Amino acid sequence: MTALAIVLIMIASVYVFGLLFAVVVAAMKLSEDSALQRHEAWRQMRRSPIWPVDEFRRQRAEYVTSKHLANIEQSELILKKLKQVEQAQRRNLQTWADAANAQARLQEVAKPDSTNTIAPDK
């Protein structure tokens, strides 16, 4: 009988220990979640304005900043396109210069030379 009582007491103590362990783990999880919630709430409070004018100024500053960044991006794209056009113009001018040189050489070669002329047969 005493062995049965000891076994029952052991089973009950393991059961109680398991319940206690589950409660402690749940409490730790809740405290961790609440700490995260407190931290997030603190960040929101720090970000939130005290006066509506402050919020308006903050939004206006964000708008102006984003507008400036968009203008900078657009300017960079325009500069990139201008560089491409400039390179194309340089290539075009080089092609025209090469063509002019080739034309001059061709005229020089094709020019009638008095020493090499053969008299036409009559």
Q: Do residues 90 and 98 make contact, with C-beta atoms less than 8 angstroms apart?
A: no
Task: Tell me the per-residue pLDDT of 21-43, one tens digit each, with 9 for 90 and over.
Answer: 888 888 777 777 777 787 887 78
Sign of CA dihedral 34, 36, 41, 46: positive
* Angstrom distance (rounded) from CA 87 to CA 81: 10
Q: What pLDDT is attached to residue 63?
A: 93
Task: Tell me the per-residue pLDDT of 69-98, one tens digit each, with 9 for 90 and over.
Answer: 999 999 999 999 999 999 999 999 999 999
Q: What pLDDT is attached to residue 81?
A: 97
* Angstrom distance (rounded) from CA 28 to CA 33: 9
pLDDT-based confidence at residue 119 (cuts at 50, 70, 90): low
